Amino acid sequence: MIENRAGLDLGATERFAAIVGEAPSRGARSPSLWNAAFRSLGISATMHPLDVRPENLAVAIATLRDDARFIGGAVAVPYKQTVASLLDEIEPEARAIGAVNCLYRRGHALVGANTDGAGFLSVLAAELGEGFLRGRSGVVLGAGGAGRAVATYVGAAIGRDGRLVLANRTIDRAESLAGQLRGTTKVEVSGLPVEPGVLAEADVVVNCTSIGFEAVRSDGAGAYTLRPYTPLAEVDAELRVPAGERAGRRYMIAARGAVLRNAHGTFEALARACERAVVCDIVYQPLQTALLNAAACFGLRTIDGLRMNFEQAVIAFRKAAEGSALGPCEAERVRAAMRSA
């Protein structure tokens, strides 16, 4: 059921939390944040990364539900959308978004929530002030789990007097999300990458795709990485190199033409961007993605994904701890504890 069993001791503490995904053991940040909070607040619990194959997801969730020590936790890619059908309850916001990234208990029931959108708005409010988005223009790149969450909250914050552009490689997915949001704000749909002129009036641009993520990935065709690209220009999604040691270097050599074309398209788009635009990225590995580096070159304000990840973790931790009656957890106390991670 769980692949990363080596060194995994779910009984090391009285209670435990988990981040469930395909490979969260390879660098997910949630365990370090949650475990710092557990220690600081004097709670005998540990968060564990659980690597679960798709065919084992249903059994893994059922096993966690039936273990009274399990208080909840996080859901990582690629299960944010598929896990919903395996839970007892879904919060209305998560149901509207169509994705779950947080688990917590309500009695014996396992409840799914989504903290991505709320975490992102919390960062914007701290950086730019409450109500910054009201009546403004936003662009959300990507309509997957995180994109749906961010777009839902951003659309509501912008309101009817503003405009939201949803861009996705698959137009149908963006259209589906747009249909849900048109009652809250003016919504337009675009393919990905967007036309350069789309950025000319944008106050906020948010990358909610995995483009820019540093990991080298492998599939049946070989190895590849999205790190050198930005979502503002074409990405070579087909190129693969032999997997193994130094696959990242081999990919960069093979993809140098595609990377240069992507950089050129990115700079063309950013050259037309509104001077007041704030460019945000939910990717936090690396902290400064190719998108944020390019935006900074043009003097645009940037916000990295680490801050959003932090704020959504604070919200999720409080839901799990309070849902399992571990005591009230004030947001500032949890933030202070997690900052020590």
Active site residues: 80
Q: For residues 26 and 173, give the distance between their C-alpha atoms in angstroms, rounded to a whole number.
A: 29
Contact assessment for residue 226 and residue 212, using Cβ atoms and an 8 Å cutoff:
yes
Q: For residues 336 and 14, give the distance between their C-alpha atoms in angstroms, rounded to a whole number.
A: 23
Which of 67, 92, 94, 93 is CA-nearest to residue 75?
Answer: 94
- Block residue for tokens 């949001």: 181
Which of 38, 22, 115 is CA-nearest to residue 71?
Answer: 38
Q: For residues 307 and 59, give the distance between their C-alpha atoms in angstroms, rounded to a whole number.
A: 33
Helices (DSSP H) in 108-144: which residue ranges?
116-128
Judge residue 5's burial from the number of C-beta atoms within 10 Å of its C-beta, 0-12 exposed, 13-18 middle, 19 or more buried.
exposed
Helices (DSSP H) in 30-88: which residue ranges?
30-41, 57-66
Q: For residues 26 and 252, give the distance between their C-alpha atoms in angstroms, rounded to a whole number.
A: 22
* Strand pairing category for 186-190 and 204-207: unpaired
Contacts for 72 with CB less than 8 Å, ≥ 6 apart:
17, 102, 103, 104, 105, 110, 111, 316, 319, 320, 323, 324
171-186: b (≥16 Cβ within 10 Å) or e: bebbebbbebbeebbb
Contacts for 141 with CB less than 8 Å, ≥ 6 apart:
147, 167, 168, 192, 194, 205, 206, 207, 208, 209, 231, 232
Q: For residues 199 and 221, give the distance between their C-alpha atoms in angstroms, rounded to a whole number.
A: 35
